[in-house]
A and B are shown apart, each in its own frame.
Chain A
Amino acid sequence: MINLKETKYDIILIGGSAGSIPVCVSLLKALKKDHTVPVALIIHRMRNVVSELDKLLTKETGIKKISEPEDKQPIGSGKVYLAPQNYHLLFEEDGCFSLDYSDAVHYSRPSIDVSFESAALLYGKKVLAILLSGANADGAKGLSILAELGAECWVQDPATAEYPAMPAAAITISEKIKIFMEDEMKQRLREL
């Protein structure tokens, strides 16, 4: 099938850890109701405890349904997905998700680096990737790889992040990453 509508991005990725959830909610609310680009959230969480982050995000954002994809689930246009607990989230050539239970990266599974690098291999520059507050360096390397490929890469301004380590680590690697306050990111998302 030929897609007549030219979209700038194949996917939007938002990575975050400690202190990222309120910002993540506010960014999701800024997206147009009829946006067509799929969104994947990669947020660090505890393992082996029941987490209801998908339900919490659904409730807070008012987006129809934010779901954790199952292995080999097709990536749906305009859908918002949350990386499941205790799995890495990867993207496949045939347009579906793959899950991976290999070693934690930066003590994290899901790891933001793993998802960002998978997106870099598959989508190249047709990615919008955003890295929010967090207390470790996961996501920094992946974001810099995407930025070097020409993808659109933003970090939450470390000065305004509850935990600045994660966005700060990214901007020390690549100068092609843009630094924005929450409101600036929201404005740009509204214009997508």
Chain B
Amino acid sequence: MGIPGRPELKAHEFEQLLHMLHHVYGYDFSGYSKSSLLRRIHKFMDEKQLADGSRLIKLLAGDVAVFNGFLETITVNVTEMFRDPVFYKSLREKVLPVLATYPQINIWHAGCSTGEEVFSLCILLFEAGLLHRTRIYATDINAANLEKARTGVLPMHHMREYTVNYRQTGAMNDFSDYYTALYDHVLINKEIRERVVFLQHNLVTDRSFNEFQLVICRNVMIYFNKQLQNKVLRLFYESLSSLGFLGLGMKESLLFSDHKSKFTMVDPAVKIFRKKH
């Protein structure tokens, strides 16, 4: 696992590292996709100028603050509002009309990062007249992400791109109706956010906590290997009500999982599935 000019993490050091993280901090990364996990561990070692794996393990084992920084690097927090506008357009057209038939709607947004995609979903629900009777449980492994998400504050410099994304979803209003600009940041309106509960939840170790008509988990399972993906898909399956919907990332598939026969495809182009029965 060495490449020239890069910090080296030998195979046995990688195993030791995972073991230590599990036993000292309770985080189990053994089911993560190796290629992508290694890439981010190397990135952390680069930043901390650690030449080899033994130093990395020693540093992490003895210092919670360093571990928290490590967790930030290891768990990917990149997100944007209305990422893949076609996904949101399909939600608007194919899923929300079905959800509208329920008196009360429960949604789980798993791996919500700093909340951008949750607020996007809330805007769609608001425009469909459903937000007031919906409860959205937005969860993430990373407490720092959730703290940010709870503030409803986003950096201003992405808003132009988000506006373009929003328009492509079949927008009904001006995007700027949904936020207040504060110098270089924006605050998403409280009425958009007030139906969301942000909770810490680890998909690897924690169980289901409710029954939902819609579960959204986009670009989170790509960081897991096939075995862990199967485990998490089972968790989602068990958390969905009969005929509930599951929304994944554009290149995430049930095709390579054990669960493909338990769902029907609602929109193959954007990876929206529906639980059978």
Contact = CB atoms under 8 A, between A and B. Distances in A.
Contact of A100 (B165, B223, B229, B250): B223
Interface stretch (A31-39, A56-64, A113-121): A113-121
Contacts of B33: 90, 92, 98, 100
Contacts of A92: 33-35, 225
A101 interface: yes
Given A48-B84, A100-B222, A145-B4, A90 B251 contact: no
A65 to B, nearest CB: 16
Interface band, chain A: 20 to 34
A184 interface: no
B235 interface: no
Contacts of A72: 225-226, 229, 253, 256
Contact of A91 (B35, B76, B256): B35
Contact of B39 (A71, A118, A149): A118
Contacts of B250: 84, 86
A71 to B, nearest CB: 5
A66 to B, nearest CB: 15
A48 B83 contact: yes
A87 B34 CA distance: 16
A100 B36 contact: yes
Contacts of A88: 36
A73 B85 contact: no
Interface in A128-164: 145, 148-149
B28 to A, nearest CB: 18
Contacts of A4: none
B78 A103 contact: yes
Contact of B3 (A50, A98, A117): A117
Interface residues of B, number: 36
B252 interface: yes
Interface in B176-210: none
A179 interface: no
Contacts, number: 95
B30 to A, nearest CB: 14
A75 to B, nearest CB: 12
B243 interface: no
A99 B218 CA distance: 12
Contacts of B40: 102
A90 to B, nearest CB: 4
B4 to A, nearest CB: 4
A69 B256 CA distance: 12
Nearest to B73: A102
B20 interface: no
Interface centre among A68, A74, A92 (most CB of B within 10 A): A92
A41 to B, nearest CB: 15
Given A48-B85, A103-B78, A71 B222 contact: yes
Most central of A72, A73, A102, A121 by chain B CB within 10 Å:
A72
A88 B251 CA distance: 11
Interface string A90-112: 11111010111111000000000
Contacts of A68: 251
Interface of B: 1, 3-6, 33-36, 38-40, 76, 78, 83-86, 161, 164-165, 168, 219, 221-223, 225-226, 229, 249-253, 255-256
Interface of A: 48, 50, 68-74, 84, 86-88, 90-94, 96, 98-103, 114, 117-118, 120-122, 145, 148-149
Given A72-B229, A98-B35, A145-B4, 4 more contacts: A69-B251, A92-B225, A100-B35, A102-B40
Instruction: Please name the 9 residue pairs, one residue from A and one from B, whose CB atoms are nearest each other, closest first.
Output: A90-B35, A70-B253, A148-B4, A100-B36, A102-B76, A98-B33, A71-B222, A101-B219, A99-B222
8 contacts: A48-B168, A70-B252, A70-B255, A71-B222, A71-B251, A73-B253, A118-B35, A118-B39
